[in-house]
Copies of this chain bind each other. A is one copy, B any other.
Amino acid sequence: MEATPLEELAGRSVTASQRLATALTADKDAFLRQAADLLEAAHGEILEANVKDLEAATARGASPATVDRLRLDSRRLSQMAEGLRAVAALPDPVGEVVEGHVRPNGLRVERVRVPLGVVGLIYENRPNVTSDAAGLCLKAGNAALLRGSGAALSSNRAIAAILRAGLDKVGLPEDGVLLVEDTSHETAEAFVRLQAIDCLIPRGGPQLITMVRERSTVPYVIDGDGNCHVYVDRSADLEMARRIVVNAKTSRPSVCNAMESLLVHGDVADQFLPEIASELAERGVELVGDPTACRLVPTIAPATEEDFATEFLALKCSVAVVASLDGAISHLRRYSSGHSEAIVTEDIGAASRFVREVDAAAVLVNASTRFVDGGELGLGAEVGISTQKLHARGPMGLKELTAVKYVVYGEGQTRA
């Protein structure tokens, strides 16, 4: 069977990945710094390419939010360049001996971190992902095969060209970064079935995630919804709870680690809810709640079942009053998307049960859900936040872009 143009492109990624797998850290870091310099130098060119995408989006009647996600400006370009330099400064995960021991027969067994190979990224709008994700993939010794959206094609093409020039300049294979320029839906479906891809990372909305689940035949890591909760226990320090809830909901409502739902223990609801409701209202947050919450605070509108399952990504929040810690845990079992869940409590037993029984990528005690990202948890940078349990759970940094292989050293041992 003849290879399709897409399969041919993927084949070039595989070839590049074989060279990148054994590249020296010094060369990979030189690439990242080189690419950062080139991005800054090509400032005008990139913004010009971006204007084409913006004009096309506006002509299509795209929403202001969509146009904003597409937009690059000097600040965003500097952030992209600084992002690449920050990745250069991180330790190289490749070659780390994760564990090792000697078997009774003298075999020396090591588990060693190695690159994944070809990382396939399929993503929407934001053209900065092209640079941010490719930088992380390359640092971990992988080839990045990128399939951005048609709306950002002109910007993505300009950025990919610069990254490729950076690779070439330091003597690494420029096919380490490859952009799929055919942005049809058919190509997206073929992309998620490319056997050359060792790890597929979809970054986008529910439709994309569903397409990947339904159609993909290669291993993937899902960066899913964050329907994050803060549970205020009956023993909570209510002033601490106030600060955490306000921070989790309002510091950046559009991101996946923002609080979407507030659970309050019945014993403290009549004291805590009116206060927090008025403080959130002052900050423009619309509250919807269960019957008890509505009764305690008349400005809270009745919530639908759907509201409790929704990641609003906006200044809106659902509220439920629960009778006990068990009630909070049951609520989470029903509605949590497995991203980040927090408890505010002074009770060591309640904290311990919450930590053990709540099934999420991150569980927090007396801290804001907003801390769940790669930078805040010490990973340096992230390519996404996994809400699945296999391979990576929570922020995916450089280590999550590697695999671990067994290396066994013998002196002629054979098996009995």
Cβ-defined contact, A412 with B221, below 8 A: no
Cβ-defined contact, B362 with A406, below 8 A: yes
Cβ of A290 under 8 Å from chain B: no
Give the shortest distance, in Å, between A287 (CB) and chain B (any CB): 20
In A103-158, the 8 Å CB interface with B consists of: 103, 107, 109, 114, 116-117
**A390–B248 Cα gap in the complex (Å)?**
32
**A316–B381 Cα gap in the complex (Å)?**
50
**A198–B389 Cα gap in the complex (Å)?**
7
Residues 241-283 of A, flagged 1 when their CB comes within 8 A of B and 0 if not, give 0011011100100000000000000000000000000000000
Copies of this chain, complex-wide, total 2
Cβ of A169 under 8 Å from chain B: no
Cβ-defined contact, B411 with A377, below 8 A: no
User: Which B residue's beta carbon lies closest to that of A359?
Assistant: B117
**A376–B101 Cα gap in the complex (Å)?**
12
Q: A361-B405, A406-B363 are in contact. Are A116 and B389 (CB under 8 A)?
A: yes
**A413–B367 Cα gap in the complex (Å)?**
5
For A365, list chain B residues within 8 Å (CB). Answer: 407-410
For A310, list chain B residues within 8 Å (CB). Answer: none
How many A residues touch the partner, as a band? 35 or more
**A376–B102 Cα gap in the complex (Å)?**
11
Cβ-defined contact, A390 with B221, below 8 A: yes
Cβ-defined contact, A367 with B405, below 8 A: no
Cβ of A393 under 8 Å from chain B: yes
Cβ of A295 under 8 Å from chain B: no
For A361, list chain B residues within 8 Å (CB). Answer: 405-406
Cβ-defined contact, B393 with A390, below 8 A: no
Q: Which of A243, A391, A412 has the most CB of B within 10 A?
A: A412
Chain A residues within 8 Å of B, Cβ to Cβ: 18, 21-22, 101, 103, 107, 109, 114, 116-117, 198-199, 213-214, 217, 219, 221, 237, 240, 243-244, 246-248, 251, 333, 355-357, 359-368, 370-372, 376-378, 388-391, 393-394, 403-415
Q: 12 more A-B contacts (CB under 8 A) besides A251-B415, A365-B407, A368-B415?
A: A18-B359, A199-B390, A214-B217, A237-B412, A240-B412, A361-B406, A363-B406, A368-B410, A371-B408, A390-B390, A393-B405, A394-B405
